[in-house]
Each structure stands twice: as C-alpha cells, then as structure tokens.
Structure 1
Amino acid sequence: MLILPLATMVAALTMVSAADAATPIAGRWLTEEASAIVTIAPCGAATCGRITKLIKGPPSGPPLDRNNPDARLRDRPIEGLVILTEFKDGGDDWRGRIYDPKSGKTYKSILKREADGGLKVQGCIAFFCRTQRWTAAR
C-alpha cells in the first residue's frame, strides 16, 4: 500500500484543481458591435460584468433600460448597468446569466477566453446559443 504524506496529497489536489480552472475573464471588453465597454470583475462569490462606457449612443441623450420587463427599472441608464451576473468557473469556461437591454431578456450564458486573447460570449435558450466575440479594450 502506497501512503503519501499529507503535504504531497494536498499539492497534487491543488495541481489538479488548477488544471481544471477556466482562463480568467476579468478585464475591460469591447463588445462585438463596438458600441460599449463591459468591465468584468469579481462581485461577491461570483463574477459579474457592467457596461462601464457607451461608445455609440443616441444623440437624444443617455439611453435607458426601456425594454426591461420590470416597469420600475425602465428609467435606469444603460451605462453602469450590470449585464453579466452569477458567473462561476466551469472548468473550461465561465457560466452564468447575460441580460440584453435591447430585448429586455436574460439568458443563460457561457464565456470563454480564446487563444487570440478575445472573449467568446454566448447567450443561450436551451441548447440554441447566439455567439459574439468581444475584444480586449485598450
């Protein structure tokens, strides 16, 4: 019977769990349409993303969350709005929820860093997903 010292077992388990961790997604990301910058960072026990800068907005003034299904939230400015919530490390990717202010709908979402440094962003209903690619904001 092989008996390993406790420190060796802990080190081995740490290496296994680190290998199963998804590539970090924190940072500032330019959306696919180049209309906004979303800042992704830890929030409590999860990871969240907030629209921190609108690049393309209407000339009539700051856009509001007019399509929100909750009438009490329709006067919130889009800039500053949390659109990525409850993201947890899924081993190969990050899984949580994404809010689309254009439709007022929230979807299951999968985020994954790509080899080129971009971020693959998916919003899903059941197993049908719509994919965008965001780039790192400078």
Structure 2
Amino acid sequence: MTPSQTAFIAATALALSASAAFASTSPVGVWYTQDKQGKVRIAPCGDKLCGVIISGRGKDGKPASDARDDANPNPALRSRPILGLQILRDFKPTGPGRWGGGKIYDPNTGRTYDSKLSLSNGGVLKVEGCVTVICQSQTWTPAD
C-alpha cells in the first residue's frame, strides 16, 4: 500500500468516526414516538430544528395519510392531513445534547406547548412539553 493510499484510508476512517460522533449528539433523524404509533423526522429548518410526522396513526386509529388535524383550535386548519404536519419547531442548541426554545404541537388535543429536547447517552430522545412550570415528557427512540 502506498503512503497516499494509507493517508486516504486514515482520513476516511477519521471522517466516518467524526460523522458517527456528530450523529449521536444531534436529534436530526427519524424517531419513533413513545407509543411507537408514529414517526417524526427532525431536520434543520433555517438555523433551528423542526419535526414533521412522516407515518403513524391519528387519534381515531386511521393511518396518518387519512387522519386530519380535527382538534386544531383554528377551524380553517382542521382539514389538513396529519401526515407531513410539523409538530416540532424553533429548537436551538442550549448545551451539549440539549435544545430548547421550541414548541411542540399535539394534534390529538390541538394544543401547543413550550418544549425542549435532550439526548441521553443511550441514544434516546427526551421530548418535554411544558405549560408554565408543569412539564410532561416522552422518550422517543431512533427509527433509522
């Protein structure tokens, strides 16, 4: 093996390990919701993170492709499909493995909550929604 081939292999290995390390410190990807009834894709939107429903079931058990946002407080939005619905928005990094300043929309109730995200060492995502000081959290697992 030539020195340039050795250098290429070493550089490739380093890049792959850095990529894997970055992936484990970012919520970007596809996640199962806590009940495993839905999948949410988290991705950058501008300089923040957002998440959309990419599969699952509505509260009535219909597939997400057939379910509608019928609990929305805005009557004009009640006919929009659940599939493709943005439920996470405006998250920005607040520390290692943490994002805050975001909102989470619950299509089952039509309510929007202040929210934050945090990654655990085990690779699960804690999704927390709060009203004033009362918070509830869910644990989402990677779907990829």
Q: Give the TM-score band, short-chain normalised.
A: 0.7 to 0.9
- Which consecutive residues of structure 1, in runs of 5 or more, have no partner in the other structure? 1-22
Residue of 78, 81, 84 corresponding to 2:85: 81
2:99 counterpart letter in structure 1: W
Q: CA deviation at 1:55?
A: 5.2
SS in 2 for 1:52: strand
> Where do residues 30-41 of structure 1 align in structure 2 (5 Å cutoff)?
30-41=32-43
CA root-mean-square deviation: 1.5
SS in 1 for 2:95: coil
Moved over 3 A (4+): none
Structure with greater helix percent: 2
Higher relative contact order by CA 8 Å / sep ≥ 6: 1 or 2?
1
Structure 1 residues 131 and 29: alpha-carbon distance in aligned structure 2, compared to 1, 3 A threshold? same
> Where do residues 1-138 of structure 1 align in structure 2 (5 Å cutoff)?
23-54=25-56, 57-58=61-62, 62-92=66-96, 93-95=98-100, 96-138=102-144
* Alpha-carbon distance in structure 1 between the residues aligned to 2:139 and 2:99: 15
* Alpha-carbon distance in structure 2 between the residues aligned to 1:110 and 1:125: 12
TM-score scaled by length of structure 2: 0.75
Q: CA deviation at 1:103?
A: 0.6
- Sequence identity (%): 45
1:19 alignment counterpart: none
Corresponding residue pairs, total: 115
